Amino acid sequence: MKPWTRQQGETTKAHAAFCAYLDLGPDRSIAKALPDGASTGKRRWWEHWSSKHDWVRRAQEYDAHLFNEKLADRAQVQALALQHVFDTTSETVAELVRLARFEDPEKPSQAAKVRFAACKELLGYIGISSKSQVEVTGKVEVDAKQAAIDKVRFVDDVMNSLNLTEEQLEELDAALEADPEL
């Protein structure tokens, strides 16, 4: 039985008074819950019911229940948003990989530029830039040379996963040499 429902031995009038008290939220009090112009006798009954039926504890449990429901709703919204981000990321990466494999026999140099731009964007999207980066954790600096070697290995792994032919890789290199702004 939920604490905010009518309890065993609680009269209908006592429960109705409790509901009026409960509806006031966390800043509730018997004085605020009583109807305007309530008699002293009515106030005493409400205080008696409050004590006898443990209104304060029941209201706290109700507040906790509402709070947990809000947290659950918020967590569900966050989970949906996160799923959207993952879906969007997957779609973006898939599109970049598709473009990295792009071929146009009629315009091979344009195709090479598209492939190169897609590869560059893909690497940027997954956190690889052409600039040397040194990571700092507290006061400990990661060896920049090793980081560069690791980055080159990672780039090679990504490029290999694209299944580009030697000819396509040469076209990418030629496109880079011809237009360093790519």
User: pLDDT tens digit string along 109-118?
Assistant: 777 777 777 7
Strand 140-141 with 136-137, pairing: antiparallel
Q: Which two tokens stand for residue 49?
A: 């019911």
- The structure's pTM equals 0.46
**Up-side HSE of residue 179: CA atoms within 13 Å toward CB?**
12
What lies within 8 Å, CB to CB, of 138 at 6+ separation is none
Mean pLDDT of 127-154: 47
Looking at this protein, which amino acid is placed at residue 139?
K
Which tens digits make up the pLDDT trace of 95-139? Answer: 777 777 777 778 877 777 777 777 777 666 655 444 333 333 333
Average pLDDT of every residue of the chain: 75
Look at residue 169 and tell me whether its pLDDT is greater than 90. no
Lowest mean pLDDT among 14-18, 89-93, 118-122, 130-134: 130-134
Q: Where are the domains of the chain?
A: 1-89, 101-128+156-182
